[in-house]
Structure formats: structure tokens, C-alpha cells
Structure 1
Amino acid sequence: MISWLTPESHFPPLHTALAQPNGLLAIGGDLSPQRLIQAYRCGIFPWFNEGEPILWWSPDPRMVLFPGELKISRSLRKALKKGNYEIRTDSAFNQVMHECAAPRSGRAGTWIHEEMVSAYAALHEMGMAHSVETWIDGELMGGLYGVAQGKMFFGESMFSRVSGASKIALVHLVRQLERRGFRMIDCQMKTAHLASFGAREIPRKEFSQRLKELVNYPERVEKWCFDHEPIE
């Protein structure tokens, strides 16, 4: 039985999530900053189409990337060394979200609609949601966004307007998180693209256990500013 949330209710235990569709845990509630913060601390994320009730998910297994396991292909390493780009952080958060929402080949719609943009923009203003952006010749060409809590980063979506731009942003994000002591990046669901970077699935129980420790580190609630050490 799926739980229907009211504005006052808490999320149900993760083990009550459905097996099919994998990880559907609850319906309803709201997208207030307080609700979203609670969700991420519990290993839950919203994912629903415009016009639908809010759907909350906690899939099993969970796709994650441990920063020390990042894989960089030979072609991507060449692009990184070429350096004909600029990495910026938190300079165009809403634009990144709208680019992630733009129509793509083979995808009919998007779950990043205006209700989601407004919700994550509020987290961004609080210093908890962040964008990492690849700029080329003064134009935003790729990037990603997600939520940081403690020593945990929850990746949400990424986009590229030119080949490899989002990959460059991801590598810079992972290296920066590693230097800052972050120990796990949530990738939510398995994709071949994320697996090519070294992301892998772990059981939800293990994910939850790791998460309980990582989200309880002291917060750095601020806009991000990366250092620019070279990528090895």
C-alpha cells in the first residue's frame, strides 16, 4: 500500500517502497524546502510529470559514484587537458535546470517542469542546491545540478549543448567533491552513461547506512566556488 502524504506527515520506512515500479514509496505532500531536505536526508527523491501528484522514490538497488572510483576515458582526458572551456559554479542555476528540461532526442517529455524548477531554485537560494557549468566562448554549453548535504552530493540532471560539455562539468565536480571530503554521489538509477564513469549499484540498505553518516557532517551552506587545480 502506497502512503499518501499530507503536509504534516513524514515519509514511510524505505523498505515499504514498491518493487514495481522500483522504489515508488509515497505520493503527495509538497515540494517545500523542508520537505525536500527531509527527503534527501532519508534517501528519497521526487520524480513526477507535470500535472501528476508528487511521486517520491527510493529505488533498490541504488546507483552511486564513489569519488575515488571515477573513470575518465582517454578522449575525455584529452578534452580536459585542452582547456578551451571555463568551469563556473552557481552562476546560472535556473538556466542549467531549464537546459536539463529541454527536449532531447528519444524523450517525449520532461520531469523538470516549473514546479520542480521553483522548488530547487529555493534550495539554491539557501545554499544547498548547486550547479556546475561548462562555458565555452562565453556561452553555457553544458552542466549539471544537484543537492549537497554534509559530505553527500545528490546528482539530479545534466545536459550538453556540445559533445562532452556535461562530462567535463561532472569530472570537475567529482574531483572537487573528493578534495572537500565528500564520500558518495547519488546517481539514483542505473544508466550506461553513469556506469562509464565508474558509478555502480549498491543495495538500498547499504546506501541508507552510508547516508545516515554522511548527511550529518557539518553543513557548508553557501554558494560554491571551486579551486582550479589541474585534473589528473
Structure 2
Amino acid sequence: MIKNILKTAVIFLIVFFYSCKQDNSKNKHIKITQDTETVEKVPIIDPKTPVDDYAKQSVDDALAEKLKIYISTQFLNKEDLNIISDNQRKFQLYKIDLNNDGENEVFINFLTSYFCGTGGCTLLLLNNNLELITKFTTTRTLFVEQTFQNDWRVIMTESQGSWRKLIFDSGSYPSNPSMEDITNEFPSGHAEVLFDEIYSKAKTYLF
């Protein structure tokens, strides 16, 4: 009699333990399924960047059309255009008043391997009449300060791992930042950032 009771008790414990194990397995399965469903419901982000995401000073379709003509007829020659493939003819623009005269100067940032190297890309600075002020060689992101020297805003940029200060003088900014003296100063928090993919994304045009 006692043996039968013990046997029944052992069987009951085995069944109870197996049932608990099955419940835990179901719970784990449900949790995994829920996690999978959560991952599947993550929205897919449209890779196309809306215009609102661009720096407003970099969006001017009418001006871009004029710059296309300038680039193709005045800045580049036929030999240049023959070398640059159609899908590499990219540029960005940025309008900014550098000398506080109420009229915007225009930066042109080129995005082709023809104009870019390890130190950055060629930039042009034009006046309001689309006349060349400065051709910058291998320049990175620009930080245009609110301070003035010689009646033009001070520009800072990084070259060869060091900060350089570009001061307007004799009708132009220095064309090669790497030739300027290294400065211990850094861009201020009030500087206007130009041509930076994170802080000042510019719209890209084709010429």
C-alpha cells in the first residue's frame, strides 16, 4: 500500500515538473515571437532626404541654374568637361553675406573626384555678380565666424589635422588653408557651419 502511494507521488511529481517545463518553453517561444514581431514592425526610413533637411542657404534652384552656366562656360573648359563623367558633375552652393553689405556671396563646393583629394575638395567663392573672389584648394568644412577682420568675416577650417584661420586680405581669402599658420583657436559656438553632412547638409545639384 505504501509502495503504491509512493509510486503515485513520484509519477505526480514527474508530470508536474514536465508540465512546468512545457509552460516555460511556451513562454520562451511567445517572448521570442513577440520580439520578432517588434523587429518586423520597425518602419523603413525613406533614403531620400526632404528639402527641409537641407540648410536653407544651400537651396536655391534658380541660382543653381546660373551657377551651372558659370561652371560649364567660365570656370571649366571643354577638356575638363570631357574628363568629368555626367554622373560626377555634382556641386553644392551656400549663400552668405561675408562683408555685411546686405548682399550674399556664394560658395560652390564641388563633389567630384576631379576636384577632391585627401585634404578635401575645391571650393569657389563668388560675389553677388557671380565673379570669382577666391578659389580654395582641398578645403574641408568651413566655420564662418561672426567676427570681422578687414571688414570680412573670419573663416576657420581644419587642414592636415590642425585649425587654420582664413583672413580676407587684398581682395581675397587665402586660397590654400594648409599654407596658413596653425592656430590654437577653435571655431566658436556662434560660427556658421558650411558643407558638413551632419550639421549643415547642403542640397546637391548637377552641372
**TM-score (normalizing by structure 2):** 0.26
Query: Rg bigger for which structure?
Result: 2
**TM-score (normalizing by structure 1):** 0.24
Bigger relative CO (Cα 8 Å, ≥ 6 apart) = 1
